[in-house]
Amino acid sequence: MELVVRLAGAAGQGVQSLGEVLVRSLFRSGLFVHGELSYHSRIRGGENAFTVRLADRPLFATRREADLLVVLTPEMWRAYGARLRPGAWVVAEEGAAPEGPRVLRLPALQLAREKLGLPLAQGVVLLGAAARLLGLNPSAVERALQEVFGAKAGPNLQAFALGWERAPGPAWELPPPRFGPGERMLLTGGQAVGAGALAAGCRFLAAYPMTPGTPVLEFLAQRGERYGVVVEQAEDEIAAINMALGAAYAGARAMVTTSGGGFALMVEGLSLAGMIETPVVIHLGQRPGPATGLPTRTSQENLLFALYAGHGEFPRYLTAPATPESAFYLTMQAFELAEAYQVPAILLTDQFLVDSYAVVPALDPGRVPLREHTLSPQELERLERYERFAPTPTGVSPRALPGASRHLVLVDSDEHDFYGRITEDLEIRKAMVEKRLRKEGYLAQETALPEVFPAELRGRVALLGWGSTYGALREAVEALNREEDRYAHVHFQDLWPVRWAEVEELLREARAVVTVEGNAWGQLGKLLRQETGIRPARHLARYDGRPFTPEDIVEAMRHAA
Amino acid sequence: MPSIRVLAEREEKGVRFTSGHTLCAGCAEPMVVRTVLNAIEDPVVVATPTGCLEVATSRFPGTAWNVPWIHVAFENAAAVISGVEAAYKALKKKGLIDKRVRFVVFAGDGGTYDIGFQALSGALERGHDFLYVCLNNEAYMNTGVQRSSATPKCAAATTAPVGEVIPGKPQERKDLTEIVAAHGIPYVAQAAVSHLIDLANKVERAMKYEGPKFINVLTTCPLGWRTPRDSAIQQSKLAVETRYWPLYEVIEGRYKINYKPKERVPIEEWLKTQGRFRHLFRDPRGKELIAQIQAEVDRRWELLLKKEQCFGVGD
Ligand SMILES: Cc1ncc(C[n+]2csc(CCOP(=O)(O)OP(=O)(O)O)c2C)c(N)n1
Ligand code: SF4
Ligand SMILES: [Mg+2]
């Protein structure tokens, strides 16, 4: 059982709120949902679409075609009217869509204006009709309306009833609940990153607004007071990362959140973090570039940028969450590994992951143990002398916090000796480079190998992906295998460091490797070839700013076969 | 001084900023842009960093710009206009161009007070011949109403939320007009969208000077301020009447306050009409906070009066 509902209107018509109401109502009914927000970068007009999928199993991908289309404007009918599955229903503002079978046209704007004096409730009228067609329990929707509209729920509840009354009975039968209250959570990738930061003990966030990095900033700004997180909006991204480094030096678990353009400005600070071996977590929400690019769309164009950004050579942890669930745990892990190895950790998400809703098992912060990675005052007291950058077998030096003891904690952006004092002694320089780079090998042991589905790869065509394409790839491989059982889905979560020898051994089993990425270059493919010599047979690219759907991948593979 | 007739005639003759953009209904930005462009007679080249104005006026196949216009990255409008102006000067020197061309930046408060400030300061110091107009709507509107250093104290923004302890933005707004004046450039002014003729006059006066010119225009935003769509002008007028946003000029270091409200209108009158300050009227500490805001308005006004007294034009 699967249904796709698409709500489409102009910016300013509240489509996002309608989508939120719908996903919450379905979630409350015990169903798995996925909600994808697709919008133009403009304040008014333009396209705003919210695509809701519901099914009896977890979903992490969106769809091209809908079973129920709710349209508020003729433009949206032109954009989406052709993308319907057989037997689809349409609920439309009168005049927005032509008459036809299974087309329910309502004077929603007029009703909202005349009966409620609130033209903005137009969408809720249409939603009321759609909810009845879907066979939703009205009380689940009413509760969701209350949650989303808060104090303004009153007229919206009336609007909902006006729509409900005007729809025929259910066109579908929804499945029975698949989970009970409290077992699962509904959240976006952006919320998951923010929640992961709270769970990991983040104490400081500095950021500058940039879509799609902003939701994490806003999430923490709204909760900072309650959870004891200092949230500072800086005057630009250069300041943001350097503030975070200052906080981290002083002992706070610190984070920044941004997108490609802002990350570009942070790059010098990133390199500084590498040099002064100070942990910092960078959430990098990708959108299409170069430059301002497509501000509100999605992409996976920054893999190589995130990996190589920063002058000089230093280790980093780079990881790409696949779903809101993994976004939560990987954010926690990024904080842990940044602290443990005194390196910058980059969380690579994208607009699709940050803005999309999904249903995940209830989160368990206990799954990522948090440890203290700095010397205690007692330990420091026992030390005769303290060297911030003491050479060790792992390259990780004992980290003291300034002011915690009588010892001086020196850090310097210039090359320095074991104490942190500037040096131009070239032997020491060599030792310091080696010490810093040594950390990478140990860090690699903590990273995950790619997930392989089905477990046995031998003789299969491996579809390789990373990050938010996870759901689309998995569904595509399942669908392809139903036709001919010869495909596999190989998904990278950790992107640096990677245990390449093991990856090579694994992938050599495959008949062929195809990369599926939201970029033109095939960036993971390039990296794979560089590190293992394995050359992908093909790259399925998507760089139009939209997320992959399962059918995109299935069709492209069929075409190739 | 350009009268409404002159401005209208110029617009009839060759409209520089047209309709067809997708700025919100009731947004003050287009009024400011049209007025500024109509107040300049010479051909102009405009640079705009990322922000509402840029996003909403330039989407192909439409454009609201009937003048050469360049969109640049968010932090560097002043740097780019410097380059354009320097190139123009070089062409002129070589005799490859003889027209008098004017260079104008329209940038938001975020792109001016914060991320663009370093580029602005550099351009002012180098002394390029351009006019910089800050469309000050007191927050990052294009990315969904985050606070900027122009956001007034206690205003709610998504990154300065109203909580149990924190009543909106804790800090005072930066006095950028004075900071720019401290660069010692020939012309600096504050204007407001409610006083368009005053704005046109200022632009015309500014353009008489060679070198950097800066006008900080209070440009009300119904969406971010959470005010009715038809209230942009009233909002702006009240900001002037309450002395929150004085209309004044600093011409070659000489201060002139263009309008002194006869009556003292309490700042509360302005605050209470805006959703971004609504919490002040519910919070038990609201009265005290409003008193603090009033004190700061008074302090700045008194200081301005003194500056006019000491460094006035002497008329
Ligand atoms: C380096 C960089 N950081 C962040 C952004 C995101 N960004 C684009 S427009 C904008 C806000 C603009 O605010 P303002 O300058 O006040 O103009 P307004 O939209 O309010 O008119 C931000 C934060 C960006 N484009 N580039
Ligand atoms: S958000 Fe504000 S500044 Fe931006 S277009 Fe709308 S009214 Fe104008
Ligand atoms: Mg602004």
Whether pTM > 0.90 for this model: the answer is: yes
pLDDT of A144 reads: 97
Q: Are A335 and A197 in contact (CB under 8 A)?
A: yes
Residue A309: pLDDT above 90?
A: yes
| Mean pLDDT for the stretch of residues B207-216 | 98
Q: Give the pair of three-digit tokens for residue B308.
A: 């006019």
Q: Is A261 on the interface with B (CB under 8 A)?
A: yes
The DSSP H or E segment spanning A274 is helix A260-276
User: Residue A448 is which amino acid?
Assistant: A
Q: Inform me whether the pLDDT recorded for A161 exceeds 60.
A: yes
Whether chain B has a CB inside 8 Å of the CB on A259: the answer is no
A290 touches chain B (CB under 8 A): no
Q: DSSP 3-state assignment of A314?
A: coil
Give the torsion sign (CA, A165, A167, A173, A175).
Answer: negative
Alpha-carbon gap, residue A98 to B246, rounded angstroms:
55
Query: What separation, in Å, do the N-terminal and C-terminal C-alpha atoms of chain B show?
Result: 18
Q: Strand order of the sheet with strand A357-361?
A: A103-106, A84-93, A66-71, A2-11, A45-55, A32-39, A357-361, A184-188
Q: What is the pLDDT of residues A238-274, one digit of tens each?
A: 999 999 999 999 999 999 999 999 999 999 999 999 9
Q: Which atom of ligand 1 is nearest to the CA of B52?
A: 19
Task: Give the neighbor-by-neighbor strand order of the sheet with A512-517.
Answer: A451-453, A487-492, A461-466, A512-517, A538-541
Q: Which residues in chain A have their CB less than 8 angstroms from residue B159's CB?
A: 209, 217-218, 221, 231, 233
Q: What is the mean pLDDT of residues B176-192?
A: 98
> Which tens digit of pLDDT belongs to each residue from A169-217?
999 999 999 999 899 999 999 999 999 999 999 999 999 999 999 999 9
pLDDT beyond 80 at A534: yes
DSSP label at residue A250: T
| Tens-digit pLDDT profile for residues A342-393 | 999 999 999 999 999 999 999 999 999 999 999 999 999 999 999 999 999 9
Q: How far apart are CA A373 and CA A557, in angstroms?
A: 47
| Ligand 2 atom at shortest distance from the alpha carbon of B145 | 1
Instruction: Kindly state the greatest CA–CA separation across chain A.
Output: 85
Asked: is B4-311 a CATH 3.40.50.970 domain? The reply is yes
Which pairs with CB-CB distance under 8 Å and at least 24 residues apart come from A379-386?
A380/A404, A380/A405, A380/A406, A380/A407, A381/A405, A383/A407
Report the nearest atom of ligand 2 relative to the CA of B137.
3
pLDDT at B314 over 70: no
Residue nearest to atom 9 of ligand 1 (CA): B51
Q: Which of A41, A43, A210 is the best mutation target for the ligand 1 pocket, counting ligand atoms within 8 Å of the beta carbon and taking the most? A: A210
DSSP A111-139: HHHHHHS-GGGHHHHHHHHHHHHHT--HH
Q: How many helices (H) and strands (E) does chain A have?
A: 19, 20
- Mapping DSSP onto H, E and C, the string for A341-352 reads HCCEEEEEEEHH
Strands across the sheet with A280-286, in order?
A: A230-233, A204-207, A254-258, A280-286, A344-350, A317-319, A494-496
Q: Helix, strand, coil shares of chain B as percentages rounded to 5?
A: 40, 15, 45
In angstroms, the CA A188 to CA A353 distance is 7
Q: CA–CA separation, A13 vs A120, rounded Å?
A: 6
Residue A491 near residue A465 (C-beta atoms within 8 A): yes
Bridging pattern class, strands A2-11 and A66-71: parallel
State the Cα torsion A77-A80-A83-A88 to the nearest 10°. Answer: -50
β pairing state of A451-453 and A487-492: antiparallel
CB A513 within 8 A of CB A527: no
Q: Is A42 on the interface with B (CB under 8 A)?
A: yes
What domains are defined for chain A? Answer: 2-164 (3.40.920.10), 186-361 (3.40.50.970), 377-444 (no CATH), 451-560 (3.40.50.920)
B68 backbone φψ class: left, alpha, beta (φ>0; ψ -120 to 50): beta
Task: Return d(Cα B110, Cα B112) in angstroms, integer.
Answer: 5
Strand partners, A90: A69, A103
Radius of gyration from C-alpha coordinates of chain A: 25
